Amino acid sequence: MHASDSGYQRYMNEWEGIRDGEMTPFKGGSGFQAIIGHQGRPIIDTVASLIGHGLCSRFPTLRFTPVENGSNWVRPLLNDMEHAWEFSPNAFEEHPVEVFKRNIYVHPFHEEDPKGLIEILGADRVLFGSDYPHPEGLADPISFVDELKGLPERDVELVMGGNLNRLMGFDDSAAA
């Protein structure tokens, strides 16, 4: 699942008073767009739908890997899911946070907190990725490993390639 034109531009246009318009990435905008545009609303809504509508419970072996979305959206969404579970457990077949941790793999941006994400999800649900020269990529992609200093070697191996190997169906001794 790749971040791109989510279709949410029409909502942004309503707030901005624009009658007609299309997504124009990397073009300037208002302060409102700068604030709202980085909240991850499309990926939050997508993952909430996957879990809240029961797709991941009906098909528990499906795996989703949102890329180019970073990871700052994960903690607030997990908090919202926990709150929803506490107040409406009958709306779910399974605890939504557990479903997230089973079905969703996250690719953090390097400037975020990959160690904090690993604490929340576990090293087996975090993916290294690079899309240089895009803004989320590093000129020396393998230097992402420096962000993982202090973690157990097995966790580093999982994040830096073991998890993706397993997702792609390749034999991976690090994930065994």
User: Do the domain assignments include residue 15?
Assistant: no
Number of domains making up the chain: 1
DSSP string, 47-102: HHHHHHTTHHHHSTT--B--BSS-STTHHHHHHHHHHHHHH-GGG-SS-HHHHHHH
User: Do the domain assignments include residue 48?
Assistant: yes
CATH of the domain at 130: 3.20.20.140
Mean pLDDT of 100-116: 93
For residue 109, count other CB atoms closer than 10 A to its CB. Answer: 18
For residue 94, count other CB atoms closer than 10 A to its CB. Answer: 15
User: Do the domain assignments include residue 160?
Assistant: yes
Residue 68 pLDDT exceeds 50: yes
User: Do the domain assignments include residue 114?
Assistant: yes
Tell me the residue range of the domain where 65 lies.
40-167
Q: How do residues 13-63 score in pLDDT, each as one tens digit?
A: 777 777 666 666 556 677 777 666 666 888 999 999 999 999 999 999 999
Residue 176 is predicted with a pLDDT of 46
Q: How do residues 139-159 score in pLDDT, each as one tens digit?
A: 888 889 999 999 999 999 999
User: Do the domain assignments include residue 28?
Assistant: no
What is the pLDDT of the chain when averaged over all its residues? 86
pTM of the model: 0.81
Phi then psi dihedrals of residue 44, to 5 deg: -60, -50
User: Do the domain assignments include residue 62?
Assistant: yes
Q: What is the DSSP letter of 34?
A: H
User: Do the domain assignments include residue 9?
Assistant: no
Comparing 83 with 109, the larger pLDDT belongs to 83
Check: CB of residue 39 under 8 Å from CB of residue 75: no
Comparing 18 with 98, the larger pLDDT belongs to 98
User: Do the domain assignments include residue 174?
Assistant: no
